Amino acid sequence: MTTRLLLLSDTHLPVRAKALQDQVWRLVDEADAVIHAGDWVSVALLDELEARAQRLVGVAGNNDGAELHERLGEVARVEIDGARIAVVHETGAAAGRERRCDERFGPASLEPADVLVFGHSHIPWDSTTPAGLRLLNPGSPTDRRRQPVGTVMTAIVDDGALLHVTLVPTPR
């Protein structure tokens, strides 16, 4: 079985934008699972994504209020088509990220993951740690910060393997 993923983070609605772009909603509709790595800001977006996505996995971020934290928590762990996926908002500074993530989510951790999706920086990231943990930050579709345009990521999971990770620009 092949599973299509959409990875989002740092949507900051309605603070950084009034709404997600139509392009992002089309990607939501095409995905088998949507993963949001926090900083939703609006509970309304969570409600919209829960209603529209086939499957939604999300965590709360540092800009999210009490209701989002209560509904989502700060760490999510799921298995999708054989791939163990963990989701958090923050992983700390880029320096030392692989080591810290290996300790917390890598093969030797108590609950190992194959993939860690994170956000916070609004800067896309795709790397693999020395222990083999794939680290993915989709950036932000609505608040590009120092990037040329906003971004999200798409990926395919097939029989436990993460394939075709693509950074998708989301211009306004």
What does the domain layout of the chain look like in residue ranges? Answer: 2-169
pLDDT of residue 121: 95
Separation in Å, CA 4 to CA 122, 154, 158, 166: 22, 7, 9, 11
Classify strands 161-169 and 75-80 as parallel, antiparallel or unpaired: unpaired
Q: Can you identify the CATH homologous superfamily of domain 2-169?
A: Metallo-dependent phosphatases (3.60.21.10)
Residue 62 has pLDDT above 80, yes or no: yes
Q: What is the pTM of this model?
A: 0.97
Cα–Cα distance measured from residue 122 to residue 72, given in angstroms and rounded to the nearest whole number: 20
Residue 74 has pLDDT above 90, yes or no: yes
Cα–Cα distance measured from residue 4 to residue 147, given in angstroms and rounded to the nearest whole number: 25
pLDDT of residue 160: 94
pLDDT digits (tens, 9 = 90+) for 29-51: 999 999 999 999 999 999 999 99
Q: What average pLDDT does the structure give for the chain? A: 96
Percentage with pLDDT > 70 across the chain: 100
The string of DSSP codes covering 81-109 is TTEEEEEES----STTHHHHHHHHHSTTS
Cβ atoms 56, 34 nearer than 8 A: yes
Residue 167 has pLDDT above 80, yes or no: yes
CA angle 64, 117, 79 (to 5 degrees): 110
